[in-house]
A and B are shown apart, each in its own frame.
Chain A
Amino acid sequence: MDNDIAIKTENLTKAYRSFWRRKKILALDKLNVDIKKGEIFGLLGPNGSGKTTTLKLLLGLIFPTEGRALVLGKTTNDVAVKNRIGFLPEESCFYRFLNADEILDFYGQLFKISRKERKARIDRLVEQVGLGFARKRPLRQYSKGMLRRIGIAQALINDPDLIILDEPTSGLDPIGTRETKDIIVSLKERGKTVLLCSHLLSDVQDICDRVAILDKGKLQISGTIDELLSSKDVVEMLIRNLSDEAISEVETFIKEKHGEVISVKNSSGTLEGLFLKIYAANINNSKTDV
């Protein structure tokens, strides 16, 4: 296996059979994907397309019907390789009677991290995911978003080389989403590999280097965001402070050069951008008041 490859699947197939073993449901069909080390890879697809099945196969939670997967050069049933993997499941399900510190400590102990190191990591991660104010509260009192945040923290407790995230921003508010995306990008900057699957295409587009789209268990397409989305015959320019006259002149010039103007409109931001702008302004105001 190439040393630069973090995850490699070869004809990875998973079929479920009905109770009487008659009907066969193909959840994943001969998936061949290579994920390079240090990249953020997005797995996209509608419900039931096989995204979560792929993640479970990679983690050894379920077993392939055919084919194989190599994670960090090891097969999925190799327990030792899990020392280098962090996983955030689709639903953040933890022992609800524990608080944030205790649950992170529990997972930290499973990785055999020393007590001192565990404490340092827990302190850092709890603050990083913004749960410092609720760290002693039992998880049963947490909201869905807070559980998601603690889920992200537990996925990072072992400082993994490969982080597998299933719907990391699901249930998070825009700030939480932004912060999570920032964490993912910072992980990449630290040389970590991130595999995530998400329904939120804008999130994937924002942070992923490469994506693969699955449908009905089959790989439809894969590649870098630019490769998949860029149209070589269409050019986009963002121009500030251009008068209507100047716009007409540009259009005329383009026509002279045999180009076609598809649309001319004012640039608009995203709702997420607007929300974050307001949130940042409020924080600044409250700081000024203090």
Chain B
Amino acid sequence: MQQILIIAKQTFKEAVRNKILFVFIILGLITICCSVFMPVVGDGSEKIRIVESMCFRSITFFGTLAAILLSASSIPTDIENRVLCTITTKPVQRTNIIFGKIIGFMYIIGVLLIVMGGAGYALIKFTALKQSTQGSSELLAREKFDPYTLQVTGESARKIGNVSWIEGGGKGTSVWKFKGLHSKNRKDDLEIEADFLVESKKRSTRKIPINIKAVNPYTLKTLTESIEVSRNKPGLLKLGGEFLEGSEELTIVVSLENPGDFIGISSDSLRVFFGNKSFEYNFLKGLTIISSQFLLMVIIAVLGSTFLSLPVNILFCLFIFFCGNITDFMRDLSTVINVFETHEHGHGISTVLKKTNVFVVFLDYVIRKPLFLLSYILPDLKNFSVGKYFVDGINIPYKTVFMSFGYAVLYAFFCLPISFVVFKRREIA
């Protein structure tokens, strides 16, 4: 352990003395500060969301870049400069060298995270303060609740893929049930956000009116409201927190007014928010998730550095980083390649028909299957994406924090033994 910490300290010292750490910090801080000057269409809260989002995106970008460049280059450079040639003649296990390097990189990235996170937090607070003088704007960390049951019923109900479609005019309803809705402050608003896929036989129609009926199953208090939803803008319904009095459960029934209007429903289409958590905790949770991504990238870069040369390893890491952010697209693409014809079922809904010819078979084996496989082998970096939480002002569940950390640890569990074996067998000439 002592040797691991010595090597970690040395790795950190190297980044400080060679001023690499400062370059990343300065660039990151400049980017964070630039977010203040971003033009914003909307109210003050929109401005805060932009600053929050930019802050996290900057930290993620520069942190990941630092993680990749430092960890991908360290071992190959030490081998190239023959520094490792001297170190490995000392009584140091090669596994300790790898552990030491990883801990050293995490020190470096930790400092980067603290400085940039601190600056980002100060800037967000400053922006919120500035906006509050011009109107009310608060830092949101709203508690989001997912439905425990979702039923789509009616003669028009049809499921295509993960999306269930219903038509208006009493031909279909969807029933959502939520539980565990509790907040320390009952005066908090109960917010219902409806973000459905929208289709209409009237091509000119952009907005579709939907009816939302909220029911408190304990008091049987009912409230029905009509809101408009469109393709890009979710509909929002605010109820007072007292609506939930005596109950932690809520039932919501969604239906459409007009025949010929369709909405596509997935489990995330209706979001219920109740209660506002501490923004500071949420911010820290965001940083924790980002640091898990850094850990993951460091481990992958170190794995690459045990057998690849410096330029190849950097390319390898950038490839992983790029693909890790588009795993969904890779899976989608693998589906698209199979699609040659679609069949219109009516009311804008189509199903996919496969066309089997030699070309499709070729694409299937050369592109689709490898891509599909790769999308599951490569780390899915969207698991570490926290920007969306801050853009929507949503509290990050602890489960997400643990899951993302666990995801990084899982990759470490597979990558580290490979790194050890490869590095142990590597000739340091």
Give the B-binding residues of A (Cβ under 8 A).
56, 59-63, 79-83, 85, 87, 89, 91, 93-95, 97-98, 106-107, 109-112, 154, 158
Contacts of A83 in B (CB 8 A): 91
User: Given that A62-B428, A82-B90, A110-B92 are contacting pairs, would A91 and B82 also be in contact in the complex, using a CB cutoff of 8 Å?
Assistant: yes
Encoded as 1 (CB less than 8 Å from any A CB) or 0, chain B from 62 to 94 comes to: 000000000000000000011101111111110
Contact between A110 and B85, CB atoms less than 8 A apart: no
Q: Does A61 contact B6, Cβ atoms closer than 8 Å?
A: no
**Minimum C-beta distance from B8 to chain A (A):** 12
Which A residue's beta carbon lies closest to that of B80?
A93
> Which residues on the B side are within 8 Å of A81 (C-beta)?
91
Question: Shortest CB–CB separation between residue A90 and chain B, in angstroms?
Answer: 9
- Report the bound CA distance from A97 to B15 in whole Å: 10
Task: List chain B residues, Cβ under 8 A from A158.
Answer: 90
Q: Does B134 contact A (CB under 8 A)?
A: no
Q: Is there contact, CB below 8 Å, between B427 and A63?
A: yes
Q: Of A61, A80, A95, A98, which contacts B85 at CB under 8 A?
A: A61
Residue from B10, B13, B90, B425 having most chain A Cβ neighbours under 10 A: B90
CB A144 to nearest CB in B, in angstroms, measures 14
Can you name the residue of chain B whose Cβ is closest to the Cβ of A112?
B2
- Chain B residues near A61: list those with CB within 8 A: 85, 88-89, 427-429
* Structural contact, B89 and A85, CB atoms closer than 8 A: yes
- On whether A110 and B6 interact (CB within 8 A), knowing A79-B91, A89-B85, the answer reads yes
Are the CB atoms of A59 and B427 closer together than 8 Å?
A: no
> Is the Cβ of A111 less than 8 Å from the Cβ of B91?
yes
Q: Verify B89–A95 contact, CB threshold 8 A.
A: no
Residues of B close to A63: CB separation below 8 A: 425, 427
Q: Name the one of A60, A93, A98 contacting B82, with C-beta atoms under 8 angstroms.
A: A93
Check A79/B92 contact, CB under 8 A, given A93-B86, A97-B17.
yes
Separation of A169 and B93 alpha carbons in the complex (Å): 30
Q: Tell me if B92 and A94 are in contact (CB < 8 A).
A: no
CA distance A111 to B89 in the complex (A): 11
Residues of B within 8 A of A59 (CB): 88-89
**With the chains together, A60 CA to B13 CA distance in Å?**
28
16 pairs of residues in contact across A and B, judged by CB atoms under 8 Å: A56-B429, A61-B88, A63-B427, A80-B91, A82-B89, A87-B89, A89-B82, A94-B83, A98-B17, A106-B6, A106-B10, A107-B90, A109-B3, A110-B3, A110-B90, A158-B90
Q: Given A61-B429, A83-B91, A110-B6, decide whether A97 and B13 contact each other with a Cβ distance below 8 A.
A: yes
By the criterion CB–CB under 8 Å, are A110 and B91 in contact?
Answer: yes
Residues on A with C-beta less than 8 A from B85 are 61, 89, 93
A80 to B428, CA, bound (A): 19
Say yes or no: B13 contacts A93, CB within 8 Å. no
Closest beta carbon of chain B to A21's beta carbon, Å: 15
In the assembly, what is the distance between CA of A62 and CA of B89, in Å?
A: 11
* B14 interfacial contact with A, CB 8 Å: yes
A268 to B86 CA separation, bound complex (whole angstroms): 41
Question: Min CB distance, B84 to chain A, in Å?
Answer: 9
Q: Is B162 an interface residue (CB 8 A)?
A: no
Instruction: Determine if B133 is an interface residue (Cβ-Cβ < 8 Å).
Output: no
Chain A residues within 8 Å of B6, by CB: 106, 109-110
Residue on B with the closest CB to A138? Answer: B17
How far is the CB of A73 from the nearest CB of chain B, in Å? 16
> What's the minimum C-beta distance from B73 to chain A, rounded to whole angstroms?
14
Docked CA distance A111–B92 (Å): 8
Nearest residue (CB) in A for B427 is: A62
